[in-house]
A and B are shown apart, each in its own frame.
Chain A
Amino acid sequence: MVNRRTFLKTTGVAAGAAALGFPAVLRAQPKEIKIGAVHPVTGPLAEIGQACRLGAQMAVDAVNAAGGIKSMGGARLELILADTENKPDVARAEAERVINAGAQIITGAFHSGQTAAMVPVAQQKRVPFLIDISAADPITLNVAESVKKGDQKVQYVYRNFPTTRIFGLRAVQFMTEVFREAKVSPKRVVLMYTNDLFGQTQARQFQAAVKEKNPGFEIVEAIPYPENATDLSTEVSRVKALKPDILAPVTRATTAILMLQELAKQRVELMGIISPGTPGLYEAGQIAQLKELIEYVMDCVPWPNYKNPRTQKVAEEYAKRSGGKNFDTNSGYSYEAILVMADVLERAKSTDPDAIVDAIKKTNLKDPLMVSGGPIVFNEVGDNPNASTAMVQILGQKPVVVWPKDAAAQKFVLPRPKA
C-alpha cells in the first residue's frame, strides 16, 4: 500500500533525481536512516540522560562500522539528538521536532512520565517508538488496549525493558532467596519512594508483589516524598521511628544522596538497604560522591550481563568514551535498543512504519547484552517479557551482580556490617 508519506517521498526523490538527470535507481535506497534519541540530557537526570545518549551513539557507531543495514544497501544509521530537559511537555515537543526533522524511528526517554508524553506523538505520526528505558506498565499497555478496542489501528510503541510488574516480582523473589541463603528472616520493610509516575508505579508493583507472594516480610509503611526534595531529615526520622529491618528506597540521584546521608547521621540501624529497582544507587558519579555511605546498598535493577564477552567488550569501550564510567542499566539498554532497531531494519528491508512494526513483532534476538530471561521478543502488549533485573550490591565501591546465583560475580554481604 502506498500511503501519503511514502508517496510524497518517492515522488519527491524521483522528481529530484529526474531533475538532476541521475537514474532513479541509485536514489531508491535511503543512504541514512534517522533515529530520534530523546533523553533527559539536562536537568536533574542529566547524568543518566547523557549515559543513555552515549550508549545509543556507541551502538550506532558499531552498527555503521559493521557495514550499516546490509539489506538496505548498507544504509547508515544516524541519530537526531534531543533533550527532554526532564519535562514531559518538552519531551513531547522534542519528539515532534525529531520526527519533523526526518526521524523514522524514535527511542527514549528514561523517565516514564516523559516517555508517556511521547507516546501519542508516535501513534499520531505513525513513527515506530522503541522505548529503551521506562518501566511504568501503562505506557505500552494503554496503547495495546486501544488497538484491541479498535480505537487505533496499529501499535507503534514497543519496549525492551522490564516493566514495573517484573521489577516488583523479581525484587520479592530475589529478596526471599537472598534472605534464605543468608539465613536471616527480616520482618519489617519500610518503602520510601519518589512521588512521580515511576516512583509511584514502582512502589505499587512492589507492594502488590509482596501481597501476592506473601514472602514472610511485610511492608509496614510506604513513605512518598517530592521528586526534587531538598530535605529528607524528617522523612528519615519517620523511618527510624518505624524500626524497620529493611529499607526499600525508590529514589532519584540527588534524593539518594540526601537519604543515605540522613540514614548515617540519624544512625538508623538496618539489616539492609534493598531497593526494588531504582536509579541513584549504582552510578559511578553517585558512588564517588557517597563513598562509604553507599557500600553494601543493594538494588534490584536491570544490569549488563558481564558473563557475556560481547558485553565486556562494549563496557571497555564505554569506559574509554565516558571518561571511566560503568556500562550500566542506562547506557546498556540504550545501546541495546539501537541493536534491536538494526536487527528490525535488517529484516524489514524498508523504513515504512508498518513494515518496521511487523518486523518488531517478529523479533527474536538471541544472546542479549543485558541480564535476561531469554532472547529479546515482544509480546502482545509490546513488551519484552524476557527483560529482567538482577540484584546488584555495592562492594568495594563497585556495583557487582550478587544474585541470581548463576549471574553472580561475587557473594553478597547481608546483614550489612554495623558502622
Chain B
Amino acid sequence: MDPTLIGQGLLNGLLFGGVYSLMAVGLTLIFGVMRVVNFAHGDMMVWGMYLAWLLATRAGVDPYAGFLVCAAALFVLGFAVQRALVDRILDAPHEMQILLMLGVALVLENAALVTFGPDPHRVRSALGLSTLWVGPIFVDVARLVTFAVAIALTFVLYLFLFRTDLGKAIRAAADNTYGALVIGIDVRRVYAVAFGIGAACVGAAGALVSAVLPFQPSAGLSASVTSFNIVIIGGMGSLLGAFLGGLLVSVAESLGAVFLAPSLKELVSFSLLILILLFRPAGLFGKGAA
C-alpha cells in the first residue's frame, strides 16, 4: 500500500472530522440537557448550508465569515422549536419524542425543497479550490480552515459551559433538573437556550462545510444518522466524547476508503459503533447507564 495514500487518507479524514465533531457536539448538548434526540439535526444543518448559499449569492458574503450569521439564525430556529414544540414533550415517552422530531425533520426538508428546489447546490468560496502541498501530500485549504474554525467553536462552547453563569445553569439543569429548579434556575429558559446552541453548532457546521460539500434538501437524514452514530460512539451527552468521536469516525471512514473498497467505508463507521456498543455500552466517554 502506498504510504502517501495512507497519509493522505489520514489527513483528509482528520480535517473533515472537525465538521463531524461540531455536528455531534450540538446533538450531544441537546441530548445531555433535555434527554431528547434531535432527529431534525441534519435538516437544521442543511438549512445552515442554504443560508450560507443565500448569503454568498445574494450578499456576497463568504461562508467562512457567513457562518456566524447562519449560527445566529439557527439559534433562533432552535430556540423557537424548543419553546413551541419540544417543551411540550419533555416528559413524554421516547417514541413520541422521536416522532415529533422526525416530523420537524420532514417539515424542514420539504420546506427546503419548496424554497430552493431539488438541484444540488454548492457555495463558491475564495478558498473553495485552493490547496497547499506538503511534499506529495496535498492540504485542502477550505477543509483546513473549516477544521480550525470547528475546533475553535467547540472550545468557545466549552468555555461558555464552564465559565459563564448561563453555561453553569445549563450544566446544572442537565445534571439534576429538580436541584436546578430548587436553587432558582429558570429551567425552561435554560432548555430553550441549550436547544438553540445545539442548533447553532450544527448551523455553523453546515455553513462551514457548504463550500466543500454540495447539498440537496434530502441530505439531512444521513447527516442526522452520522451525528447520532458519533454521539453514541463518544457517549451520549458527553461533549468531549462527541468531539473525539467525530474525528475518530471521519478518520476511520477515510482510511476505510484507502484500504477497502470505498463503498464499504460506511461499514467501517457502523462496525465501529457495534464494537463500541459491545465493549463500552455507554460509549467512549459515557458515564455509564444512569
What is the interface of chain A, defined by CB distance below 8 A to chain B?
Answer: 41-44, 46-47, 49-50, 86, 195, 223-226, 228-235, 237-238, 241, 253-254, 257-258, 261, 264-267, 283, 285-286, 288-290
- Residue of A253, A261, A290 with highest tally of chain B CB at under 10 A: A261
Which of B119, B143, B261 touches A285 (beta carbons < 8 Å)?
A: B119
**Residue on B nearest A41 in the bound complex, by CB:** B118
* B2, B122, B217: residue with the most chain A Cβ atoms closer than 10 Å: B122
Shortest Cβ gap from A36 to chain B (Å): 21
Q: Does A285 lie within 8 Å of B140, measured CB to CB?
A: no
Main secondary structure, interface of A, reads helix
22 CB contacts below 8 A, A to B, read A42-B118, A46-B113, A46-B118, A46-B217, A47-B117, A223-B261, A225-B257, A225-B262, A226-B265, A229-B265, A231-B12, A231-B254, A234-B262, A237-B258, A238-B262, A254-B120, A257-B214, A258-B213, A261-B128, A265-B131, A289-B121, A289-B122
Partner of B2, one of A225, A232, A241, A253: A241
Residues of chain B within 8 A of A254, CB atoms compared = 120, 214-216, 219
Chain B residues lying within 8 Å of A234, measured Cβ to Cβ, are 8-9, 12-13, 254, 257-258, 262
Q: Which residues of B contact A49 (CB under 8 A)?
A: 118
A90 to B238, CA, bound (A): 37
Of B8, B140, B223, B253, the most chain A CB neighbours within 10 A belong to: B8
How many A-B residue contacts, CB cutoff 8 Å?
121
18 more CB-based (< 8 A) A-B contacts, given A46-B117, A286-B119: A42-B118, A42-B218, A47-B120, A50-B118, A195-B263, A225-B262, A228-B222, A232-B262, A233-B140, A234-B8, A234-B12, A234-B13, A241-B4, A261-B214, A265-B131, A267-B138, A286-B120, A288-B119
Contacts of B131 in A (CB 8 A): 265-267
> Which 3 residue pairs are nearest across A and B when measured between Cβ atoms?
A46-B118, A285-B119, A195-B263
Which residue in B12, B226, B253 is a CB contact (below 8 Å) of A237? B12
Q: How many B residues touch A, CB cutoff 8 Å?
A: 42
- Chain B contacts of A241 at CB under 8 A? 2, 4-5
- A224 — which chain B residues lie within 8 A by C-beta? 261-263
Residues of A within 8 A of B4 (CB): 241
Cα-based distance from A50 to B119 in the complex (angstroms): 10
B215 — which chain A residues lie within 8 A by C-beta? Answer: 254
- Check if B129 is an interface residue, CB within 8 A of chain A: yes
User: How many whole Å from A286's CB to the nearest CB in chain B?
Assistant: 7
